[in-house]
Amino acid sequence: MEEKTERILKDRLDEKQYNKLIALKNPTMHNFVARYIEHCNPTSVFVGTDEPEDLEYIRESAVRNGEESRLKMKGNTIHFDGYYDQARDKINTKILLPEGARIEKAINTIDRESGYEEMHSILKDIMNGHELYVRFFCLGTLNSEFSIPCVQLTDSAYVAHNEDLLYRQGYEQFKRTGDSPDFFKFIHSEGELENSVSVNTSKRRIYIDIRENTVYSANTQYGGNTIGLKKLAMRLAIQKASREGWLTEHMFVMGVNGPDQRISYFTGAYPSMCGKTSTSMVVGEKIIGDDIAYLRRKNGSVYGVNVEKGIFGIIQGINSEDDSILWDTLHSEGEIIFSNVLRTDDGGVYWIDKDSNPPAKGINHSGNWYKGKKDKAGTPVDISHKNARFTLSMTLLQNRDAEMENPEGVKIRGMVYGGRDSDTLVPVEESFDWEHGIITKGASLESETTAATLGQEGVRKFNPMSNLDFLSITIGRYIQDNLEFGKGLSDPPKIYSVNYFLKDSQGNWLNEREDKRVWLKWMELRTHNDAAAIKTPTGHIPKYEDLNKLFSDVLGKEYSKEDYIKQFTFRIPENIAKTERILHIYENDVLDAPDIVIQVLRLQKQRLLEAQKKYGDYVSPFDLQKGNRTV
């Protein structure tokens, strides 16, 4: 240990905390911790191990500090972020870009030197009067090739508590890795507080240093800005994966039950509020993870793990009928953090579209709330925030898959891409092959914006693989990494698109929420070639006979030919328009788009134009079946 580092640690840590830290024989980590203790200047320091008493200290600190308060259900607590600190701050989340590096304008960056200087100016003495929590975690399954050790410095017990629920404890993992400098580093401070919430939001900054594998976050509490191991760490992991030949994806991992007790594992990438969590939690199937996956190649196949072990989920709309598993969990004893929902007078919680009578008053992110309340700008204040969240460990879930902690991961049979699309894509479609799927399903993903990010809602946005917000490499390099990943696989996953948001000309939904259960079952059959499909210019769609049987078997309901035609009518003008939009982006806005992307999209447009000439603008799936062979 360097002399300066040892002096700082001995001066600023009591004997117990010092001994816990130096038990990890990692000089790089010691230097990092010492440097930011000196720079951020906390009043006290707590070093957390994997032991239960240290986890209990964090839980109690969150309540003692006023960041959380207990609810009537045992183990449940509630937290409120500031009124203007309720979502990911995309404007002030920036990658520190080294001199000479290039990246698209769509990815928010700042010159590394100036950004580094600004961040450290903000962090100087920011923890004075606060306790610093030094925590150790592991991204990916423990003691495996998927493992990435992490050290988190934060003065928010709420943030540390969230991470205890969301991530595998990593103190012992650091012991196993010894003096390796290959770990991720995170520094967060909530800054000055008033009524237990951050007040200096004008100085809210979230900067990612891809050169030093470090994330900085200041003057914010909202989890998307502060839980460094989540989306912020994705930027670091995407860089690492690109260098090493594996993938970091914004994907759930779930198991879908098939015939004869078969289980097939799928990943799925959906932008926020597009059905991602509800799909991964669908009744009758198994969940491994709802948000982020690491994917590696083994023996000609793809294997994946859940990067996390918990869920930081949007709570709006969760109800007993459509989300029975989560509903039961959220109404049970257990360690659950609710954030930015309404606290009722009896110590319960209420959120938007909860299926019970809403109370007339309570406490929420705006303070004391009552029906009809407006903020200073005259805007009505909802009963809870649209981006209100819950945090829990997946050990509370009855549908948690037994393979979740398998250090080898699970074999991935299918990859699903889904967004919000009211007028173009059919509910489910399979790509022709890996290359076609990555380009026309993943790299062409579009969706409407939602309340999960600051800014205007309802705008259709290009979002390749639902990962644009989290890229730390160029889009072209990212797409090329995905294409290269599939080369040489003897048993590659099949690739699908899904769309739960299709509407008719009057604006009525053409899908019901539970229909996704059928689309999953069809995809499971297709991954084993147990169902036929109809070829279209953009992929393969289900045959009516197969869906009719699945709707009966899975949902116990009749599926009419009329519904099938409405849902799976091929909308050629809209598909042409979409293809042209995506082509324009890759031809004009992406710095280094692979040539194959342009070629595949142009071929798809050509097939669409040929189909339009043959069939007209709108084609019944039955007519497509007559005109094309089934596969």
Alpha-carbon distance of 463 to 229, in angstroms, equals 22
Residue 269 identity (one-letter amino acid): A
Alpha-carbon distance of 189 to 221, in angstroms, equals 8
Tell which residue, 268, 231, 259, has the closest CA to residue 428. Answer: 268
**Residue in the block written with tokens 């309720």:** 86
Tell which residue, 506, 516, 334, has the closest CA to residue 428. Answer: 516
8: β partners: none
Alpha-carbon distance of 471 to 94, in angstroms, equals 11
Residue 215 identity (one-letter amino acid): V
CB 303 within 8 A of CB 410: yes
Tell which residue, 248, 244, 228, 253, has the closest CA to residue 309. Answer: 253
Tokens for 97, please give them.
């870009």
Alpha-carbon distance of 90 to 469, in angstroms, equals 8
3-state secondary structure of 245: coil
Taking each helix axis from N to C end, the angle separating 27-40 and 15-22, rounded to the nearest 10 degrees, works out to 140
Residue 196: what are its φ and ψ, rounded to 5°?
70, 15
Residue 150 is a catalytic residue: no
Widest CA span of the chain, in angstroms?
A: 80
Residue 159: partners with Cβ closer than 8 Å, 6 or more residues away = 152, 188, 190, 221, 223, 226, 227
- Selected catalytic residue, list 40, 138, 150, 274: 274
Residue 577: what are its φ and ψ, rounded to 5°?
-60, -40
CB 280 within 8 A of CB 311: no
507 to each of 296, 502, 514, 559, how far by Cα in Å?
42, 9, 19, 21
Residue 34: partners with Cβ closer than 8 Å, 6 or more residues away = 4, 5, 8, 9
Alpha-carbon distance of 300 to 298, in angstroms, equals 6
Tokens for 21, please give them.
């830290």
With vertex at residue 164, the alpha carbon angle to CA 243 and CA 59, rounded to the nearest 5 degrees, is 155
Alpha-carbon distance of 276 to 555, in angstroms, equals 20
Residues designated catalytic: 274
